[in-house]
Structure 1
Amino acid sequence: MTGAVAPQARRDQWQDRVVLVVSPTPTHPQDYGNRKRIFRICRMLQDAGARIHFVHYASEAEWRRKLPIHAQAAMQKTWDAYYLVAPGRDLHCAPEGTHHLIDEWWDPQLEKTLQWLAERIRPDVAIVNYTWLSGALELMPSGTLKVLDTHDRFSGRKEMLESYGIAPEFFYTTEEEEAEALARADVVWAIKEEERLQFEEMTDRRVITVPHADPASPLPLRPLPADPADFEMRIGVIGARNQVNTRNLIRFLEVADKVFRAHLPPLKLVIGGTVCDLLEGVDLPFVEKLGWIDDVENFYRQIDVALVPMEFSTGLKIKVSEALSHGLPLIAHEHAFEGYRPFHPWHALPSFEAIAEACADLAFQGTEGLEPLRRASAGSHRAVVRDLEAGIAATGAAIAAAAPATLVLGDPAITVRGSFREQLAQGILGRLAERGHLLLYLDGIEDVSGATRLFAGLDPCRIHVSPAVRERLSASDIARLEDAGVRWAGLDQVIAGHEIRHLWLDRLPRPGERLARLRGVERIYLNLAMLRRADVAAVLEGEAGELLTPLTKVTLVGDCDRPLSSRLRRRLGAEQVLAAPLAATGDALRRSLLAPPFSSRKGLTVILEHPSEAIVEMAAAVAVSAGQNLVNVVTLETDETELRSDLQGGVLRRHLPGHVLDREALRLLRTTRLTAGFAPESLRAGTLLAALESAGHDVMRFGAPQTRTLLSCMRRMQARLIRPGEDMLPGRRQHAVFYSEPGWRRIRDHWAEPAP
């Protein structure tokens, strides 16, 4: 691989995904191996379109002593959101028993932050770093893919260190405790293949190998002396100050001293890093100690060959990745090269003796021996990049399957603040969200204020809005909607990114909205309270055949005791007609329609399916005869969106917007004395009349308006206006369909059915 090109993640899997990353170490500066790995993973996902919300639990000593402002600023600039959590307890404590319990270092302060954050951003993916923080996964909401990046295996760690005479350090636990951590995840990341096999013996969770690969940034050869005879091979070792690095290096130097004294190769062993602090007693003629390295890349520029002499350790050797990414010739112990693919015998040597012999051999070959090793390092780097990309792609493929979802194809009219449709949607979506992972898709927004108000109350629903809508909005409106949880994505993208199990239709698909990829849908719900008459006609005439296939179970939801509902049921072969409560699921709608005392109500409301001047004229006459000079007219199957009035014959006729019954229209409806419905075929009329009746209003229902029956209808309306019945209290008359809780129980039973 040439050029500084980072590994790629598939954009179709990660585009617009919200990824919550929990880490006990910062990503800046990248001066330690674990920081480099976490930064690289986050950057890959961000480059693929994901939005990274980085939670930094400041557990390291550097952050406990001071606040590194520059590092904090760099993380704030790099990630889409950065959250700093201060520890609320003592850290890195010794175990109470022989081993740490998996949650022994858990911090309730971190728990509170994560609970608050997860409820608000509803992440698609949560990546928790290290098993000792795995408790964070239990705080994630349903529908979130929970990923545990182990970095290292902590069971067996104590025993391994003690076998080499090293006192246990940092965190160490038992297999039983570590298995508990693995069980909290949907996907476990092992940093090398050897640990993947070990973890698979401990858990039934999916374990994916996700190695570390630095981006390729080949370095030029070190300048050579004018006289080849003056060339001395500089072989470099770099390491941090810890007992594992120190013991391995001292053991190697003891072996190398004997080999080099025997052969006297022209080489210098250059040691860099804080490991030098623990090598004060080492004084060998072939060793050059540099101490603290301010710039790692500059260290690699000073050497000809990288050396990783480690016969025991845990996790992946990030220093191997560094050397490979720089294209350096590399000599390593086979243990140190675990997790990488060797492209040369010297990449994975069996002993320190073999490593020392290889160093001596290469030194005698001079510069001629470097090029084959450089090519081998480039090959190993390309291989580990492919392995990293494959691990990320396998994780991306698991996102959609994390939680089968219900997709709601919403009507933009639900965004009109205070409207009948908005309040109806609040209740419906709230109930659906209780049943499982819910997605709402809108291809338009009619009222930004109403949309932000609606969306803010729809937790835990994930809200997707067509990117075309964004192009028509101001920057401030875009910010308001994004703060309310909106994600900009087309319908194809939403479908591709989720496993859709149920489809809830408030409207039929528009021309160009392809639902062909929804092959796994088990059941389609038609919301009769929201569907327009044109949508119903399209279904009855067979124009929705692509969507409503014979293999899909169809359920009608709403006021189903109407001829049109029966025709739909016969046409679709609907398995079950539900009398599910729609408006009643939200108290806001009942409050907005709550009838005031009868004495303060006036006028007559007429609800029509289509405009009818004859009915309106007769209703006006009836109102006048009863001493009421007001008629409200609601025509449901029109696209009227604004309230208008006219005065005819001394009667004020207010035409309320039938397409969107906004807040003002609902206020006028609730102050009416009598409501008469002349829309037996309108599915929305049934829900509206039921809502009014539930809220304590006097409601009359009539059949299709015919000339020979209209006079009879008007006489009955006149009698009711003149001699009203008992003043009804809210809830006194509860419509059976409106409050049919068994309907929602039936939906719950549908969703509890196992997938075929």
Structure 2
Amino acid sequence: MTPARQKLLIVTRHTPLPWEDGAGAYLHDLARYLATDGFRVHILWLAPHDRLRWKKIWRLPAPFARAVRLHLPGALRLGRRFVFLAVVWLPFKARALDRVRRALNTVGLAPPRRHPSPAPPAAAPLWASPPTPAELALVVRFFEKHRPDVVITNYAWLCPILDLPALRRTCTACLTHDIGWQRAALSAPGIAPEITRDGEAAWLRRAALLVAISETDAAELAALAPAARVVVAPKACETRAPFAETTSRSLLFVGSDNAFNARGLDWFLREVWPRLLREVPDVSLHVCGSIDRLVTLCPDGVAFHGPVPDLAPCYRQAALVIVPLLQSTGLNIKLVEAAACGRAIVTTPAALPGAPFLRDAVAVAATPGEFAAAIRHLLDQPAVRAATAARALAAVRARLAPATCYGPLAALLRANAVARHDVARDLRVLHASGAHPPQP
């Protein structure tokens, strides 16, 4: 009998918070769709970052809490609040012990000395590295408690989780985001990459189902793991009314703190911005996202806002959006989100391979002069800008509706989970009867 609502677990080391970066937005968007499509979705965030932990007490936003169940190791959950016990307790413990030592000293007693552990403290795992023994143990404990029907790893390097014996009869998948070895090669040219093609292939072959963010990625994933089923599930865009045209002369860039964004924005600020500012003195640029941690250049007319939980007002106030990437992999999420908001876009050829359907709906410029000229043209021609924005919006509406992007994946996960559930049931019946399963 098919379970009414199958349990689905997503294991991630990367942030699942949609306002922090494009990968988090993609993960959350998919999780939210699966929750509305009949799955009970759990997200196990293996390594919440320090910026979150040092809040001590963090309240999960209501829209996130309604869609999925978030699990943070080391945190006590009270409703929508997470209390990071170590961050709360350890400073208190240190102060209390210091007071005890001082009190003992005042009465002439020597406090006992604590011998340091000979073992060094465990270092946090690298972002793009296989799961540690501690992380594997977390997954096993979670699995034994919740028994999910489907387990999805977020990025290829967590696929060794799918080899755990506890998951042997579970539907398994990997949300790949992009091709890791390609990103590694582009991120650090001239040095040995942290991910190789053979290494990524070895990870991916552990999953029964691979989720590609674009058709281009799907072809490479099929070559890396020929036995796996590959399904394309690009980042969806909500079908909402676009923002009205604005008379402002402001540009918007949205990006997280990764190497591609840093190089692209640095190129724009050094090579394009001075030229543009001479030609359009009243232009301004607003930069949103954690990219401000990597890019320190801040010329006149540029404002950095850091991570912004709700980008809607930023898109509403912007005349157009720039995506000046020199390198890119997968589907560029900032590109499709700007199109979905009804904003004209100026971008580079590097941003388009994952979204070929936008090629005729955005302004494409390869050189600093072309980029500045495209911006100036769109700022000076409101009608052209509106028509460009309308083409981009129509393109994403036609291609990136949530049911179109995620519906086939949801159906595959459900079918695979049901099939494995039936096999496990049959094996239990055979075991109870004393019979032996047929040999392959």
The alpha carbon displacement at 1:359 in A equals 1.3
CA contact (8 A) 1:242 1:275 kept: yes
1:419-430 equivalences in 2 (<5 Å): none
Q: Secondary structure, in 3 states, of the residue corresponding to 1:342?
A: helix
Q: Deviations over 1:151-198 (max 9, x none)?
A: 2322144432233x8x89xx9311111111101111111222222222
> Of the candidates 385, 389, 402, which is equivalent to residue 400 of structure 2?
385
> Of the candidates 45, 53, 57, which is equivalent to residue 34 of structure 2?
45
1:177-576 equivalences in 2 (<5 Å): 177-204=199-226, 205-221=228-244, 223-224=246-247, 233-257=249-273, 260=276, 264-265=279-280, 268-273=283-288, 274-276=290-292, 279-283=295-299, 287-292=301-306, 294=308, 295-343=310-358, 345=360, 347=362, 349=364, 351-353=366-368, 354-365=370-381, 367-386=382-401, 389-397=404-412, 399-401=414-416, 404=419, 436-438=423-425
Give the residue type in structure 1 aligned to 2:386.
Answer: E
> Of the candidates 99, 106, 124, which is equivalent to residue 91 of structure 1?
124
Give the residue type in structure 2 aligned to 1:209.
Answer: V
CA contact (8 A) 2:277 2:283 kept: no
CA contact (8 A) 1:131 1:181 kept: yes
Task: Tell me, yes or no, if structure 1 residue 57 matches structure 2 residue 32.
Answer: no
CA contact (8 A) 2:272 2:372 kept: yes
Cα distance in 1, alignment partners of residues 220 and 58 from structure 2: 40
Give the residue type in structure 2 aligned to 1:216.
Answer: T
The alpha carbon displacement at 1:235 in A equals 2.4
Cα distance in 2, alignment partners of residues 92 and 173 from structure 1: 15
CA contact (8 A) 2:16 2:25 kept: yes
Give the residue type in structure 2 aligned to 1:69.
Answer: W
Between the two proteins, the alignment pairs up a number of residues equal to: 389
Cα distance in 2, alignment partners of residues 53 and 20 from structure 1: 5
TM-score normalised over the length of structure 1: 0.46
Q: Secondary structure, in 3 states, of the residue corresponding to 2:152?
A: strand
Q: Secondary structure, in 3 states, of the residue corresponding to 1:207?
A: strand
Cα distance in 2, alignment partners of residues 241 and 404 from structure 1: 41
Cα distance in 1, alignment partners of residues 323 and 431 from structure 2: 68
Q: Which moved more, 1:208-217 or 1:370-379?
A: 208-217
Q: Secondary structure, in 3 states, of the residue corresponding to 2:188?
A: helix
Compare relative contact order (CA 8 Å, sep 6+) and give the higher one, 1 or 2.
Answer: 2
Cα distance in 1, alignment partners of residues 133 and 25 from structure 2: 27
Cα distance in 2, alignment partners of residues 302 and 406 from structure 1: 51
For structure 1, the residue ranges without an aligned partner over 5 or more in a row are: 1-12, 95-99, 225-231, 408-435, 440-459, 462-503, 505-579, 586-740
Task: Tell me, yes or no, if structure 1 residue 114 matches structure 2 residue 139.
Answer: yes
The alpha carbon displacement at 1:369 in A equals 1.5
CA contact (8 A) 2:246 2:317 kept: no
Residues 368 and 396 of structure 1: CA distance in aligned 2, closer, same or farther (over 3 Å): same
Give the residue type in structure 1 aligned to 2:249.
Answer: M
Cα distance in 2, alignment partners of residues 350 and 173 from structure 1: 31
The alpha carbon displacement at 1:25 in A equals 3.8
TM-score normalised over the length of structure 2: 0.76
The alpha carbon displacement at 1:113 in A equals 3.0
Task: Tell me, yes or no, if structure 1 residue 127 matches structure 2 residue 170.
Answer: no
Q: Deviations over 1:418-477 (max 9, x none)?
A: xxxxxxxxxxxxxxxxxx4217xxxxxxxxxxxxxxxxxxxx96xxxxxxxxxxxxxxxx
Q: Which has the larger radius of gyration?
A: 1
Q: Which moved more, 1:187-196 or 1:348-357?
A: 348-357
CA contact (8 A) 2:10 2:44 kept: yes
> Of the candidates 138, 156, 165, which is equivalent to residue 163 of structure 2?
138
CA contact (8 A) 1:155 1:173 kept: yes
Cα distance in 1, alignment partners of residues 161 and 387 from structure 2: 47
Q: Deviations over 1:462-520 (max 9, x none)?
A: xxxxxxxxxxxxxxxxxxxxxxxxxxxxxxxxxxxxxxxxxx8xxxxxxxxxxxxxxxx
1:18-37 equivalences in 2 (<5 Å): 18-28=7-17, 30-37=19-26
The alpha carbon displacement at 1:334 in A equals 2.7
Cα distance in 1, alignment partners of residues 347 and 353 from structure 2: 10
Consecutive aligned runs of 4 or more in structure 1 exceeding 6 Å deviation: none
CA contact (8 A) 2:181 2:195 kept: yes
Task: Tell me, yes or no, if structure 1 residue 154 matches structure 2 residue 180.
Answer: yes
Residues 399 and 261 of structure 1: CA distance in aligned 2, closer, same or farther (over 3 Å): closer
Give the residue type in structure 2 aligned to 1:283.
Answer: P
Q: Which moved more, 1:44-53 or 1:387-396?
A: 387-396
CA contact (8 A) 2:11 2:152 kept: yes
Cα distance in 2, alignment partners of residues 581 and 387 from structure 1: 42
Q: Secondary structure, in 3 states, of the residue corresponding to 2:374?
A: helix
The alpha carbon displacement at 1:127 in A equals 1.3
Q: Secondary structure, in 3 states, of the residue corresponding to 2:244?
A: coil
Greater share of helix: 2
For structure 2, the residue ranges without an aligned partner over 5 or more in a row are: 76-120
Cα distance in 1, alignment partners of residues 380 and 183 from structure 2: 39
Cα distance in 2, alignment partners of residues 33 and 68 from structure 1: 25
Cα distance in 2, alignment partners of residues 150 and 299 from structure 1: 29
Cα distance in 2, alignment partners of residues 272 and 256 from structure 1: 15
Q: Secondary structure, in 3 states, of the residue corresponding to 1:91?
A: coil
Give identity over the alignment, percent: 21
Structure 1 equivalent of residue 84 of structure 2: none
Q: Secondary structure, in 3 states, of the residue corresponding to 1:215?
A: coil
CA contact (8 A) 1:332 1:346 kept: no
Cα distance in 2, alignment partners of residues 280 and 394 from structure 1: 41
Cα distance in 2, alignment partners of residues 91 and 175 from structure 1: 24
Structure 1 equivalent of residue 97 of structure 2: none
